[in-house]
Amino acid sequence: MQYQRSSALFKAAQDVIPGGVNSPVRAFKAVGGTPIFVEHAKGAYLYDADNNKLIDYIASWGPMILGHAHEPVIEAVKSRADLGTSFGMPTALETEIAELAISMVPNIDKIRFVNSGTEACMSAVRLARGATQREKIIKFAGCYHGHSDAFLIQAGSGAVTFGSPSSPGVTRGTAKDTLLAPYNNLEAVAQLFKEYPDEIAAIIIEPVAGNMGCIPPLKGFLEGLRALCNQFDSLLIFDEVMTGFRLAKGGAQELLGIKADIVTFGKVLGGGLPVGAFAAKNEIMKHLAPEGPVYQAGTLSGNPLAMAAGLTMLQELNKDQEVFNRLDLKTARLHEGLETVLKDTDIPFQINRLGSMISLHFTEDEVIDFETAASGNNEKFNTYFHGMLNEGIYLPPSAFESYFLNDALSFEDIDFTINAFKKVVKTI
């Protein structure tokens, strides 16, 4: 495939946008080469600036669960735009989508809409701190909760020490209140509670990790976190920005049978427009302004275009809950196909999957946390990525990202992908 126009567009973008992109993973730094500039998308396909057609396996990092330019969502946005795009005032739409979301998700009474997953997670942590009157949080290495200062923390000198800032601009004072543990390591979390029994406001976690590839929780891990939070009067925050309304109607809470105290949402909830949200039971949400003292605000929160898109998306998912089974079957087909091809080679590999999230790791080790994900062979992944791209298949341009399937993908698309992989694997 040829990418001359994408190359020219990237060069022009670098003159006026840092790195030429508005989110770092788009720059292809992890895989090399020039990023693809998209012209439009429909269903399961992307169409780039060079008129290449690509089968899409990122779905805008999750929200396009029904496929790109899904007609009911697009029509809802068009109709709403005719009435005005922003007011900074309440609309009935906000109540309507709130009522629907609460009816679909277990264990929540109220929901507050914001504009991004980062904002949702940042606000959820502030709410947890305000509700518990404690300052420290526990997060997990490799889990991404947006670019708020409290989350940009890397490991310290040991598995259960204070973290240190992983980005300039994040203060050590901020980092001292973020405790870091390995994902799927309950013992490390228990040790943190032993060291700081009265200081931990909350644990925040992706119940199914999607930012070190797809990493499901090991049996008993989330249950153990729930028990520790109960024991030490801390709150359990599920970051369901990726998993909410994707793994099941009620997200990971429903699928895995674990109740979180606060849940954050994004992606699917906006139907492709910028939306985030956080939700909890009344006894927690009552601490939030204007009802309580924990401040959070946003002029564009509850934006009518985003609410119209999100409401339509949730209505579609709520009336056709078989979508989750269809996605499971399609993802299983992809998993089985990749595995069958790789078994006939001497290439070390692991495939992780849960629901419509899946990732391929070029390593012999079981991938259960950031350390084991990082053991994968990046050179092989880069060859794989570019080989598949040349076959017309767009995968996440990083070995540390989950793939997200959408319902517009056909089994023929998946079989095409597997056949393309048969060619590409010979070059890995």
Which residues, at least 6 apart from 248, have a Cβ–Cβ distance to it below 8 Å? 254, 255, 324, 355
Residues marked as catalytic: 144, 239, 267
Pairing of strands 136-141, 200-205: parallel
Residue with tokens 């009816």: 103
Q: What secondary structure does DSSP assign to 2-21, as a single string?
A: --HHHHHHHHHHHTTSGGGS
Q: How far apart are CA 164 and CA 183, in angstroms?
A: 18
Cβ 284 vs Cβ 235: under 8 Å:
yes
Q: Which of 60, 67, 105, 82 is nearest to 304 (CA)?
A: 82
Cβ 425 vs Cβ 345: under 8 Å:
yes
Q: How far apart are CA 95 and CA 78, in angstroms?
A: 20
**Burial (CB count within 10 angstroms: exposed 0-12, middle 13-18, buried 19+), residue 26:** middle
Looking at residue 26, the DSSP 8-state letter turns out to be G
Give the tokens for residue 409.
Answer: 């993908």
How far from 231 is each of 127, 190, 253, 284, 418, CA to CA, in Å? Answer: 20, 11, 20, 18, 48
Which residues, at least 6 apart from 209, have a Cβ–Cβ distance to it below 8 Å? 140, 142, 143, 183, 215, 216, 402
Q: How far apart are CA 251 and CA 256, in angstroms?
A: 9
Pairing of strands 45-48, 38-42: antiparallel
Which residues, at least 6 apart from 181, have a Cβ–Cβ distance to it below 8 Å? 138, 139, 140, 141, 159, 160, 188, 189, 192
Which residues, at least 6 apart from 142, have a Cβ–Cβ distance to it below 8 Å? 183, 209, 211, 212, 215, 369, 370, 373, 400
